[in-house]
Amino acid sequence: MTQSRPRLGLPVAGLVLMLALPAPAPTLAQDFLGADELGPIAALSDAEIAALGSGEGMGLARAAELNGYPGPRHVLDLAEELDLSESQRARVQSIFEATQAEARRIGRAYLEAEAALDAAFASRRADPATVMQRIEQAAGLRAELRAIHLLAHMQTAPVLNADQVDAYASLRGRDEADGAAEAPEHHGEGDVEH
Protein backbone atom coordinates (compact mmCIF):
# COMPACT_ATOMS: atom_id res chain seq x y z
CA MET A 1 0.00 0.00 0.00
CA THR A 2 1.35 3.37 -1.00
CA GLN A 3 1.60 5.94 1.71
CA SER A 4 0.15 9.28 0.68
CA ARG A 5 2.07 12.46 1.21
CA PRO A 6 0.57 14.96 3.62
CA ARG A 7 -1.24 17.78 1.82
CA LEU A 8 0.17 21.22 2.20
CA GLY A 9 -2.22 23.90 3.34
CA LEU A 10 -3.01 26.62 0.80
CA PRO A 11 -0.72 29.23 2.38
CA VAL A 12 2.22 26.79 2.42
CA ALA A 13 1.38 25.49 -1.06
CA GLY A 14 1.24 29.07 -2.34
CA LEU A 15 4.61 29.81 -0.80
CA VAL A 16 6.08 26.68 -2.40
CA LEU A 17 4.68 27.77 -5.78
CA MET A 18 6.12 31.26 -5.40
CA LEU A 19 9.54 29.89 -4.48
CA ALA A 20 9.49 27.53 -7.47
CA LEU A 21 8.96 30.39 -9.91
CA PRO A 22 11.95 32.35 -11.19
CA ALA A 23 10.09 35.70 -11.01
CA PRO A 24 6.99 35.60 -8.84
CA ALA A 25 3.97 37.60 -9.86
CA PRO A 26 3.18 40.53 -7.58
CA THR A 27 0.32 40.18 -5.15
CA LEU A 28 -2.53 42.64 -4.97
CA ALA A 29 -0.90 44.16 -1.88
CA GLN A 30 2.27 44.99 -3.83
CA ASP A 31 2.63 47.86 -6.23
CA PHE A 32 1.67 46.61 -9.66
CA LEU A 33 3.64 48.41 -12.34
CA GLY A 34 2.17 46.69 -15.40
CA ALA A 35 0.76 43.54 -16.92
CA ASP A 36 4.09 42.81 -18.62
CA GLU A 37 5.62 42.07 -15.20
CA LEU A 38 3.61 38.86 -15.06
CA GLY A 39 5.25 37.50 -18.18
CA PRO A 40 3.48 35.10 -20.50
CA ILE A 41 0.30 33.42 -19.32
CA ALA A 42 -0.37 30.22 -21.26
CA ALA A 43 -4.15 30.69 -21.51
CA LEU A 44 -3.96 34.30 -22.75
CA SER A 45 -2.42 35.89 -25.83
CA ASP A 46 -0.04 38.83 -25.52
CA ALA A 47 -2.78 41.06 -26.96
CA GLU A 48 -5.28 39.87 -24.33
CA ILE A 49 -2.77 40.46 -21.55
CA ALA A 50 -2.06 43.98 -22.81
CA ALA A 51 -5.77 44.78 -23.20
CA LEU A 52 -6.66 43.49 -19.74
CA GLY A 53 -3.80 45.40 -18.16
CA SER A 54 -4.77 48.65 -19.86
CA GLY A 55 -8.50 48.48 -19.07
CA GLU A 56 -9.77 47.91 -22.62
CA GLY A 57 -13.28 46.56 -23.10
CA MET A 58 -12.31 43.55 -25.25
CA GLY A 59 -15.93 43.11 -26.37
CA LEU A 60 -17.10 42.46 -22.81
CA ALA A 61 -19.91 45.01 -23.24
CA ARG A 62 -21.10 43.70 -26.60
CA ALA A 63 -24.59 43.02 -25.23
CA ALA A 64 -24.96 46.70 -24.37
CA GLU A 65 -23.29 48.01 -27.54
CA LEU A 66 -25.43 45.91 -29.86
CA ASN A 67 -28.63 46.90 -28.09
CA GLY A 68 -28.27 50.65 -28.36
CA TYR A 69 -26.14 51.55 -25.34
CA PRO A 70 -23.13 53.53 -26.61
CA GLY A 71 -19.74 52.99 -25.02
CA PRO A 72 -17.92 55.95 -23.49
CA ARG A 73 -14.63 55.45 -25.34
CA HIS A 74 -16.35 55.27 -28.72
CA VAL A 75 -18.55 58.27 -27.89
CA LEU A 76 -15.42 60.27 -27.11
CA ASP A 77 -13.76 59.05 -30.31
CA LEU A 78 -16.84 60.24 -32.24
CA ALA A 79 -17.41 63.44 -30.25
CA GLU A 80 -17.16 65.73 -33.28
CA GLU A 81 -19.43 63.59 -35.46
CA LEU A 82 -21.97 63.32 -32.64
CA ASP A 83 -21.79 67.07 -32.01
CA LEU A 84 -21.32 66.58 -28.27
CA SER A 85 -21.69 69.66 -26.12
CA GLU A 86 -18.89 70.48 -23.67
CA SER A 87 -21.14 69.27 -20.85
CA GLN A 88 -21.78 65.94 -22.57
CA ARG A 89 -18.11 65.52 -23.39
CA ALA A 90 -17.12 66.19 -19.77
CA ARG A 91 -19.72 63.74 -18.43
CA VAL A 92 -18.68 60.98 -20.84
CA GLN A 93 -14.99 61.66 -20.14
CA SER A 94 -15.68 61.24 -16.43
CA ILE A 95 -17.49 57.94 -17.03
CA PHE A 96 -14.64 56.75 -19.26
CA GLU A 97 -11.90 57.65 -16.78
CA ALA A 98 -13.69 56.02 -13.83
CA THR A 99 -14.42 52.91 -15.90
CA GLN A 100 -10.88 52.63 -17.17
CA ALA A 101 -9.36 53.01 -13.69
CA GLU A 102 -11.61 50.30 -12.26
CA ALA A 103 -11.16 48.06 -15.32
CA ARG A 104 -7.38 48.33 -15.00
CA ARG A 105 -7.52 47.42 -11.33
CA ILE A 106 -9.78 44.41 -11.85
CA GLY A 107 -8.06 43.46 -15.12
CA ARG A 108 -4.72 43.28 -13.37
CA ALA A 109 -6.21 41.23 -10.54
CA TYR A 110 -7.65 38.90 -13.18
CA LEU A 111 -4.23 38.60 -14.82
CA GLU A 112 -2.70 37.78 -11.45
CA ALA A 113 -5.31 35.07 -10.91
CA GLU A 114 -4.63 33.61 -14.36
CA ALA A 115 -0.88 33.79 -13.72
CA ALA A 116 -1.36 31.91 -10.43
CA LEU A 117 -3.38 29.23 -12.22
CA ASP A 118 -0.75 29.00 -14.94
CA ALA A 119 2.01 28.78 -12.31
CA ALA A 120 0.26 25.92 -10.56
CA PHE A 121 0.39 23.90 -13.75
CA ALA A 122 3.85 25.08 -14.81
CA SER A 123 5.28 23.98 -11.47
CA ARG A 124 3.67 20.54 -11.86
CA ARG A 125 2.16 21.01 -8.40
CA ALA A 126 -1.44 21.59 -9.43
CA ASP A 127 -3.99 19.84 -7.28
CA PRO A 128 -7.79 19.86 -7.73
CA ALA A 129 -8.52 22.12 -4.74
CA THR A 130 -5.97 24.75 -5.80
CA VAL A 131 -7.05 24.62 -9.42
CA MET A 132 -10.73 25.05 -8.49
CA GLN A 133 -9.90 27.94 -6.19
CA ARG A 134 -7.87 29.67 -8.91
CA ILE A 135 -10.59 29.08 -11.51
CA GLU A 136 -13.30 30.49 -9.25
CA GLN A 137 -11.18 33.52 -8.43
CA ALA A 138 -10.42 34.23 -12.10
CA ALA A 139 -14.05 33.68 -13.16
CA GLY A 140 -15.33 36.04 -10.47
CA LEU A 141 -12.88 38.74 -11.53
CA ARG A 142 -13.78 38.26 -15.22
CA ALA A 143 -17.48 38.67 -14.34
CA GLU A 144 -16.68 41.82 -12.35
CA LEU A 145 -14.71 43.18 -15.29
CA ARG A 146 -17.62 42.55 -17.65
CA ALA A 147 -20.02 44.29 -15.26
CA ILE A 148 -17.74 47.35 -15.13
CA HIS A 149 -17.86 47.70 -18.92
CA LEU A 150 -21.58 47.00 -19.23
CA LEU A 151 -22.41 49.53 -16.53
CA ALA A 152 -20.28 52.14 -18.31
CA HIS A 153 -22.49 51.76 -21.38
CA MET A 154 -25.57 52.08 -19.20
CA GLN A 155 -24.19 55.30 -17.67
CA THR A 156 -23.26 56.75 -21.06
CA ALA A 157 -26.55 56.20 -22.89
CA PRO A 158 -28.59 58.75 -20.91
CA VAL A 159 -25.98 61.46 -21.53
CA LEU A 160 -26.80 61.44 -25.26
CA ASN A 161 -30.03 62.47 -26.90
CA ALA A 162 -31.93 60.14 -29.24
CA ASP A 163 -30.50 61.72 -32.40
CA GLN A 164 -26.97 61.27 -31.11
CA VAL A 165 -27.62 57.63 -30.26
CA ASP A 166 -28.97 57.05 -33.77
CA ALA A 167 -25.91 58.78 -35.26
CA TYR A 168 -23.65 56.71 -33.01
CA ALA A 169 -25.26 53.47 -34.23
CA SER A 170 -24.84 54.56 -37.83
CA LEU A 171 -21.23 55.65 -37.35
CA ARG A 172 -20.42 52.37 -35.61
CA GLY A 173 -21.94 50.43 -38.51
CA ARG A 174 -25.15 49.48 -36.76
CA ASP A 175 -28.56 50.68 -37.80
CA GLU A 176 -32.11 49.41 -37.90
CA ALA A 177 -31.30 47.31 -40.96
CA ASP A 178 -28.84 45.38 -38.80
CA GLY A 179 -31.65 44.39 -36.49
CA ALA A 180 -30.37 46.35 -33.50
CA ALA A 181 -32.84 46.60 -30.68
CA GLU A 182 -34.58 49.87 -29.88
CA ALA A 183 -32.25 52.28 -28.13
CA PRO A 184 -32.67 52.86 -24.41
CA GLU A 185 -34.39 55.95 -23.05
CA HIS A 186 -32.12 58.97 -23.29
CA HIS A 187 -31.93 62.12 -21.26
CA GLY A 188 -29.18 64.00 -23.06
CA GLU A 189 -28.77 67.69 -23.76
CA GLY A 190 -32.15 69.20 -24.57
CA ASP A 191 -34.07 66.35 -22.98
CA VAL A 192 -35.61 66.42 -19.52
CA GLU A 193 -33.47 64.53 -17.00
CA HIS A 194 -34.84 62.66 -14.01
CA–CA gap between residue 87 and residue 25 (Å, rounded): 42
Comparison of pLDDT for 37 and 119, the residue scoring more: 119
On whether the pTM is more than 0.75, the answer is: no
The whole-angstrom separation of Cα 180 and Cα 5 is 58
Q: Pick the more confident residue, 170 or 177.
A: 170
Closest listed residue to residue 65, CA positions, set 52, 77, 78, 74? 74
Tell me which amino acid residue 100 is: Q
Q: Per-domain residue ranges for the chain?
A: 48-172
CA distance 187 to 194: 8
**Mean pLDDT across the chain:** 79
Q: Calculate mean pLDDT across residues 9-18.
A: 41
Q: What is the pLDDT of residue 133?
A: 95
Compute the average pLDDT of residues 94-106: 97
Tens of pLDDT, residues 25-56: 433 333 333 445 667 899 999 999 999 999 99
- For residue 166, what are the contacts with CB-CB under 8 A and spacing of at least 6? 183
Q: Is the pLDDT of residue 109 over 70?
A: yes
Name which of 188, 174, 155, 162 is nearest 67 in CA terms: 174
